[in-house]
Amino acid sequence: MIHEPRYDCAIDAAMSVIEGRWKTVILCKLYRHGGPIRYNQLMGQIEGISPRIFTLQLKEMERDGIIVRKVRSTKPKYVEYCLSERGLSLLPILKSLADWGLKNMFSNMVEFNEDISVPSKEELKESGLC
């Protein structure tokens, strides 16, 4: 197995599930969308991601049981992704992280680096998680 997890610690176990350039974003999008969503539709909502990486992240998340992949055998077939129960149970924690980040990181940047374009606090709060 290539993926040799560092499961010596419960936090590392959890971190290994949400680490990955796009995973939290994907979780947010899935949550905010509500129901099942198709591959291309989901990818379209994530600016800057390439199909290879997108698929990779999805595969890992599916393996970790936080999302569910369903194939609809219509013609042509299509695929839907949604949060699993386990994935949903992560969202309160992600929300805490977002709150913490908003409070502790963005405030600094806005204060000291006004030239950096960063969403305003209001915009971020309004938009929820992401």
Closer by beta carbon to a copy of itself, 18 or else 79: 18
In angstroms, what is the minimal distance from the CB of 50 to DNA?
Answer: 4
Q: Are 118 and 106 in contact (CB under 8 A)?
A: yes
Residues that bind a copy of itself (CB under 8 A): 7-19, 24-25, 28, 64-65, 86, 89-90, 92-94, 96-102, 104-106, 108-109, 116, 118-119, 124, 129-130
Closer by beta carbon to DNA, 52 or else 111: 52
Residue 83 vs residues 5, 6, 33, 42, 80: alpha-carbon distances, Å: 23, 24, 10, 13, 10
Closer by beta carbon to a copy of itself, 2 or else 10: 10
Residue 1 vs residues 4, 5, 88: alpha-carbon distances, Å: 7, 10, 28
